[in-house]
């Protein structure tokens, strides 16, 4: 792989990650009120992920806390 190809691939990856972040924010709004129809395993994963979020402050805990 040439340098230019690598930098193009990295730029494309950054764009893809930014788009995925935007989609995740939209999905959060869409999911509210519809979680009862989700797969139980997915809900367990989601709940595990949300343990790191402080609802009072609206902030995520630092990794490792």
What radius of gyration do the chain's Cα atoms show?
17
Residue 26 pLDDT class (50, 70, 90 cuts): confident
Do the beta carbons of residue 52 and residue 61 sit within 8 Å? yes
Say if strands 53-54 and 59-60 run parallel, antiparallel, or are unpaired. antiparallel
pLDDT score of 65? 62
Sign of the dihedral defined by the CA atoms of residues 3, 5, 11, 17, in that order = negative
Coil, strand or helix: which one is 11? helix
Indicate the pLDDT class of residue 1, thresholds 50, 70 and 90: confident
Residues 62 and 65: their CA atoms lie apart, in Å, by: 6
């Amino acid at each position: 792989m040439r340098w230019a190809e690598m930098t193009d691939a990295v730029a494309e990856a950054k764009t893809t990650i930014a788009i995925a972040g935007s989609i995740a924010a939209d999905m959060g709004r869409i999911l509210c009120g519809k979680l009862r129809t989700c797969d139980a395993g997915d809900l367990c994963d989601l709940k595990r992920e949300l343990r790191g979020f402080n609802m009072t402050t609206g902030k995520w805990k630092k990794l490792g806390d």
